Amino acid sequence: MIHLTRINHSEIVLNSDLIELIESTPDTVISLSNGQKVMVLEQPDHIIDKIVSYRRRIATPWPEGSDGLANPAGWLRPGPRAVTGPPGGE
């Protein structure tokens, strides 16, 4: 998901996997695989940079650490689940 700005200055978050084509006509028009078109303020090269950055972030392996929670991109993954005992409350 990448953050972009529509022509009317409203912010959107777009699933970059749906992008089929980016045109500069002179506005930037993004054509999606579902047939929709989105006009944004960002230039095509900037959008490509955002997509590459996003894909690198999600492809980065989790580091092994003492707590095992933080990854290099600053995201958190769930920790171990607490075990409270056998079902039925014995």
CB-CB contact of 4 with 12 (8 Å): yes
The residue that leads in pLDDT, 83 or 46, is 46
Domain ranges of the chain: 2-58
Task: Give pLDDT, residue 60.
Answer: 79
pLDDT in tens, 32-74: 999 999 999 999 999 999 999 999 988 877 666 545 555 555 5
Cross-strand bridge partners of residue 14: 2
Question: 30: buried, middle or exposed (CB in 10 Å: 19+, 13-18, 0-12)?
Answer: buried
